[in-house]
Structure 1
Amino acid sequence: MDSSSSSSIPWSTIWVVISWYSSNIGVLLMNKYLLTNYGFKFPVFLTMCHMMSCSIFSFVGIQVMEIVPFQSLQSKEQFVKICVLSLVFCFSVVCGNVSLNYIPVSFNQAIGATTPFFTAICAYVVSRKREAWLTYATLLPVVAGVIIASESEPSFNLLGFIICLSSTFSRAFKSVLQDLLLSSEGEKLNSMNLLLYMAPMAMLVLLPATLLMEKNVIQITVDVARNDIKIMGYLVFSSSLAYFVNLTNFLVTKHTSALTLQVLGNAKGAVAVVVSILIFKNPISMIGMCGYALTVLGVILYTEAKKRYSSNITN
């Protein structure tokens, strides 16, 4: 058999990966533009728009277009578990959007790259799950890189740093909780069906939060739209991208593997940093770039160590 033809990557997979990169980086840049450059300082309302979009598109994608088979809930206990996941998911997304008010996308991505570190901590605290010592060792450069990047970040903001760190921790905590709460065969949901249930729940939580924390935001948005109708296009575009991030994430995993998704995610973070610097012209030091590169290297080593540890257990 011709090795070149057997190892070639299908065009469908390439387009899915490109779409995943574009939607991920696009929603980050769009949110940053709206919240800082455009001056639409309502991150909770923006997140609610995202969840509304995810609710609508998920329903259409699963029930109408049948992208994946519909999975119904099996019990009240499963419903309660998904509610808990929705709250954590909601907190993570809100914190991520709020942090963009204070720190540049490049620094946001550097902090976000520490997700494996927090995942390992949460897995041990919640379920006493241990990794090989080599896996834990690879997390040292992940943390060290962010510390270096933080120390030399020209646009460093302590509040933004703490909020982004909270978002990263919540994202890691959600992944551990998801494995723990939906671990039985009868409760497992694919990511698209899980989003179908989680997005409306998150939207119901965000609606009163928006009305309490960002009073008159709807009236303000209407008033802004009267003078600049582009704001509506920005909100719709940002909200649509938020759904396509989840859709393409699912498709990349389907066309490749969860491990490949992690590796591609590492590269995506680096691309997002470069693109954001080129677009927003935020200052960044050479030491900061080295710190972020160290973090990415650590995540790559972590992924490789996890892969080897898993294969050894299997064998």
Structure 2
Amino acid sequence: MGSKLPAMKGRLFTIGLISSWYFSNIGVLLLNKYLLSNYGFKYPIFLTMCHMTACALLSYIGIVWLKLVPMQTIRSRSQLMKIAALSVIFSTSVVGGNISLRFLPVSFNQAVGATTPFFTALFAYLVTFKREAWITYATLVPVVAGVVIASGGEPSFHLYGFIMCIGATAARALKSVLQGILLSSEGEKLNSMNLLLYMAPIAVLVLLPAALIMEPNVMSICVALTRQDKFMAFLLIVNSAMAYFVNLTNFLVTKHTSALTLQVLGNAKGAVAVVVSILLFRNPVSFIGMAGYTLTVIGVILYGESKRRLK
């Protein structure tokens, strides 16, 4: 009985972590959609800046005060420049994703986002000339075909939103490829929480002038809106805090399970997000659109399986 208790506690802890990861991932996605589309808060760059500000503050508290993970220091100017480059690409991907949510339903946004493995394989080849096995490339065919089918069958298709979503997905994939190259040496490797600690403040410095130029008077408009509706300030704070917890729970789930488990859970998370968003926002869906999304998810699962077997 004594040996079973710690094992059960361990399982419950893992289940709790995974549940928290699901809740924060799907929660921030749905809140972004609600704020940018349904609530009428039309400032995706400023919203992303709020996310990055929360990530910077909460990362500092989590690492320096709470000591969730050991502090890792930047060792050279070169390493700092690499982190800055990753931060700009990361910010671009988040802004693009948030802009797309203004124009696209969450279900279609998730379908396009599922093509990340395609862009990862593409950038890995273009940047590092790394070739995958033919079977791995073959699994990317349904990934892309599914999105093409879903696009044709999407009742709420919006070209600008679609372009932004594709751009965000490509930027996310490029960031993961470059991160593997730029921070590959033992002296420069950072765990994801320390990387976020350094990337987030740089992202804020990049996004602040972008928001002021591209979303003029956003600060005064936000102040006026929060005076009119205190609930909006609450939504912004909760939404920004959840953006940090997405990264924290992502790190903890990977640490306590494995990268493969995270990949499998991520595929299921996309499907859960689609169902929840359709129930909440009542956006119209077609049989062709759902069939396309299903084909994409099947392709992503096959891609992950082929990568695992060839390791």
* TM-score normalized with structure 2 length: 0.97
Partner of 1:274 in structure 2? Answer: 275
Letter of the 1:289 partner, please give it.
M
CA distance in structure 2 between the partners assigned to 1:227 and 1:80 by the alignment: 42
Residue matched to 2:118:
117
Question: Is it true that 1:84 corresponds to 2:85 in the alignment?
Answer: yes
Partner residue of 2:136? 135
1:202 is matched by which residue type in structure 2? A
Residue type at the aligned position of 1:306: K
Distance 2:147 2:255 in 1: 31
1:58 and 1:6 map into 2 onto residues whose CA distance is: 30
Q: Write out per-residue CA displacement over residues 122-176 of structure 1, whole angstroms, 9 at most, x where no aligned residue.
A: 0000001111111111111100111110000000001100000000000000000
1:296 to 2:297 alignment: yes
Counterpart amino acid of residue 72 in structure 2: Q
| Aligned equivalents of 2:177, 2:212: Cα separation in 1 | 31
Whether 1:242 aligns to 2:243 is yes
Q: Given residue 254 of structure 1, which amino acid in structure 2 is its aligned partner?
A: K
Q: In the alignment, is residue 213 of structure 1 matched against residue 214 of structure 2?
A: yes
Secondary structure (helix, strand or coil) at the match of 1:100 reads: helix
Instruction: Tell me how far apart the structure 2 counterparts of residues 257 and 227 of structure 1 sit (CA, whole Å).
Output: 46
Distance in 2 (CA, whole Å) between partners of 1:147 and 1:82 is 34
Deviation at 1:259?
1.2
Give the equivalent residue in structure 1 for 2:104: 103
- The CA distance in 2 between the partners of 1:52 and 1:158, in whole Å, is 30
d(CA) in 2 for partners of 1:18, 1:108:
22
The letter for the 2-side match of 1:12 is F
**Within 5 Å, which residues of 2 pair with 1:158-307?**
158-307=159-308
User: TM-score of the superposition, structure 1-length normalised?
Assistant: 0.96
- How has the CA–CA distance of structure 1 residues 7 and 300 changed in structure 2, closer, same or farther, with 3 Å as cutoff? farther
| SS of corresponding position for 1:101 | helix
SS of equivalent to 1:26: helix
What displacement does 1:6 show? 12
SS in 1 for 2:102: coil
Runs of 4+ aligned residues of structure 1 deviating over 6 Å after TM superposition are 4-9
Deviation of 1:218 (Å): 1.0
Count of residues paired in the alignment = 307
Q: Matched residue of 1:78: which SS?
A: helix
Q: Distance in 2 between matches of 1:19 and 1:141?
A: 31
* CA positional deviation for 1:209: 0.5
Look up the SS of the partner of 1:10 in the other structure.
helix
1:257-279, Cα deviation, whole Å (9 max, x unpaired) = 11111111000000000000000
2-structure distance, mates of 1:213, 1:288: 33
What are the ranges of 5 or more consecutive residues in structure 1 without an aligned counterpart? 311-315
Alignment partners' CA distance in 2, 1:287 and 1:75: 52
Alignment of 1:7-156 (within 5 A): 10-156=11-157
How big is each residue's C-alpha offset from its partner over 1:221-273, in whole Å with a ceiling of 9 and x where there is no partner? 11111111111001001100100000000011001111111111000000000
SS in 1 for 2:131: coil
- The Cα offsets for residues 56-79 of structure 1, whole Å up to 9 and x where unpaired, read as 000000000000000001111000
* Structure 2 partner of 1:313: none
Whichever residue aligns with residue 12 of structure 2, its letter is W
Superposed, which structure 2 residues align to 1:302-313 within 5 Å? 302-310=303-311
The alpha carbon displacement at 1:82 in A equals: 0.3
Q: Secondary structure at the match of 1:295?
A: helix
Instruction: Give the AA of the match of 1:89.
Output: F
RMSD over aligned CA atoms reads 1.4
